[in-house]
Structure 1
Amino acid sequence: MEHFIKTIVKKAGAEIKKRFGKSGVKYTKTHSHDVVTEADLASNRILIDAIQKRYSSHGIISEETGEYQKDAEFVWIIDPLDGTNNFARALPLFGVMAAVAHGKQIEYGAIYDPIHNQLLYAKRHKGAFLNNEKIHCSKTKIWSESNGFTSCWMKPKTMLVNRRLLESNAKKEWSLYRALWSIAIETIYVASGRCDWLISTSGGLWDYAAPPFILKEAGCTVTNFQGEPWKLGQKDLIAATPALHPQLLKIMHGG
């Protein structure tokens, strides 16, 4: 299964890359920024066809086509194109995400960035790897020396998160942070130690399957907003280096 999950995300990513800068919005979903392109659908077809051919008894939950045999022993949770809005505007910040759940636990996770050829992969209790090289989160310990990612959706909880970060910076406890509009790419950067933390408060199950699993395997502390160990199905995510996580959690609670 390890080789298979790597192969299919790369195959889907190659199809997306061929369409980059050429494939516009096909339709919108919940609002004008929630878009679907031909690349989303093409990637989705590649992933689902491959999974059903190889593992016909497995279930699939996809952002684009919903649930299929979701109560199966093994369930694939896929986002065929995370960062679709970036893709549609020819911004090279997007990726393919896939995870395999056995019951309530993720066993395998993979994220592929086709533009920069970055394949992030993890297997439970075996660590995280970027292009087959074992990686680890950064060793940053001081909040004012850290870099991270946050969400920018105009929703109450997301706005509260960003207010807390601004309040912290106003106290001269500076951290640099940004939103890339792709948790796939943000996860690659944090897991590989190029950035130090990630907060996410909105998305679907497919957004919160591979990323938290891989971040934990890369050595991050990964919890919900109450500081409890993150579990599949939760949609509030704080992931950071072990030294930064309690500082970030305190900031999120107004401390």
Structure 2
Amino acid sequence: MEQQVVRIAREVAISSAYEAGRVIRDRFGMLNQVREKDEHGDLVTEADHMAEAVILHKIQSVFPGHRIQSEEAGEIAASSEWTWLVDPLDGTNNYAVGLPLFAVSITLVHHDNPVLAVIFEPMTERLYVAEAGEGATCNGNRVAIGERGALAKARVGWIQGHQVQHDETAAKLRHHIDASSRRMMRLWAPTLQWTMLARGDLDGIIVYNSEGEDLYSGLLIVQEAGGIVMDYEGNPFTGTGGRPYLIACRSEHRSYFLDLVREGLNKR
């Protein structure tokens, strides 16, 4: 039964992501409405709402009994072992200022475990799909994080929650990573960083207190591409929930990133 649900859900998620992506791409550079939705300066546009409506309609028409948690609509409650996590436009701040770095993110969670992830990048037409235990693909081709030798300086993606802006510990860690790395990247669109890590274009990602509808699609794609995800103590991260303080990287770079984070947190 579970496999059948995931098989059908895969087709729903892919078609939803493609259609939502077309809506987003067609409105790029032609926005009529942009507003701030919280005190942290996060934005929402009519494209967010239009893309979300497409995705929610498709999911609900096939899985009316499933719970949905969506970026703009919030929780569409249902008593179900299945939950959809939807971010119809990850990277809205980029989108609103005409920067073509954004994606559609859809995740299906069974009980507490992500089992399906779809990320679609409308401007590059890259479609990433991952199923738990089945690997990850980009446009149908297998994605693998690959192996790399010892690191002198890494290319690191930094992801922080909206509420972290004035956190002194986060600022200290962020500064240490920036000073110690070849490059530290902040894209305002976390899913793009996860796909970069999955295909080997980043060496690692450090997450500081950031959980949202876009997080678990990226985690699953990286894990299915052969990467590891752990907390700052080195414990494997599984399931969902909590306030993630995470490291994702190749397995052979585990010690490098644990040391990098510990040094940053312990600096005076």
Instruction: For 1:248 and 1:71, locate their aligned partners in 2 and report how far apart those are by CA, in whole Å.
Output: 39
State the partner residue of 1:51. Answer: 59
Residue ranges of structure 1 left out of the alignment (5+ in a row): none
Whether 1:31 aligns to 2:35 is no
Whether 1:244 aligns to 2:244 is no
State the partner residue of 2:172. Answer: 160
Instruction: For 2:256 and 2:157, locate their aligned partners in 1 and report how far apart those are by CA, in whole Å.
Output: 15
TM-score normalised by L of structure 2? 0.87
Q: Which amino acid aligns with 1:154?
A: Q
Aligned 8 A contact 1:97 1:184 in 2: yes
1:2-151 alignment, distance < 5 Å: 2-23=10-31, 25-31=33-39, 33-69=41-77, 71-151=79-159
Q: Which amino acid aligns with 1:78?
A: V
3-state SS, counterpart of residue 96 of structure 1: strand
CA spacing shift, 1:41–1:201, aligned 2, 3 Å: same
Instruction: For 1:18 and 1:140, locate their aligned partners in 2 and report how far apart those are by CA, in whole Å.
Output: 39
CA spacing shift, 1:210–1:70, aligned 2, 3 Å: farther
Q: Which amino acid aligns with 2:198?
A: A
1:198 Cα deviation from its structure 2 partner: 1.1
Residue ranges of structure 2 left out of the alignment (5+ in a row): 1-8
Instruction: For 2:121 and 2:41, locate their aligned partners in 1 and report how far apart those are by CA, in whole Å.
Output: 21
Instruction: For 1:25 and 1:250, locate their aligned partners in 2 and report how far apart those are by CA, in whole Å.
Output: 45
Identity %: 26
Deviations 1:65-97 (A, max 9, x none): 111125411110011110100000110110000
Q: Which amino acid aligns with 1:74?
A: W
Instruction: For 1:164 and 1:71, locate their aligned partners in 2 and report how far apart those are by CA, in whole Å.
Output: 44
- The CA RMSD measured in Å over matched residues stands at 1.8
Deviations 1:3-61 (A, max 9, x none): 22111111111110001111155321223630000111011101111110011011100
Q: Which amino acid aligns with 1:33?
A: G
Whether 1:198 aligns to 2:205 is yes
Q: Which amino acid aligns with 1:141?
A: G
3-state SS, counterpart of residue 252 of structure 2: coil
Deviations 1:203-242 (A, max 9, x none): 3431322111111111111112222222311422211111
Instruction: For 1:226 and 1:207, locate their aligned partners in 2 and report how far apart those are by CA, in whole Å.
Output: 23
Instruction: For 2:173 and 2:138, locate their aligned partners in 1 and report how far apart those are by CA, in whole Å.
Output: 29
CA spacing shift, 1:180–1:52, aligned 2, 3 Å: same
Higher mean C-alpha displacement, 93-102 vs 189-198: 189-198
CA spacing shift, 1:83–1:24, aligned 2, 3 Å: farther
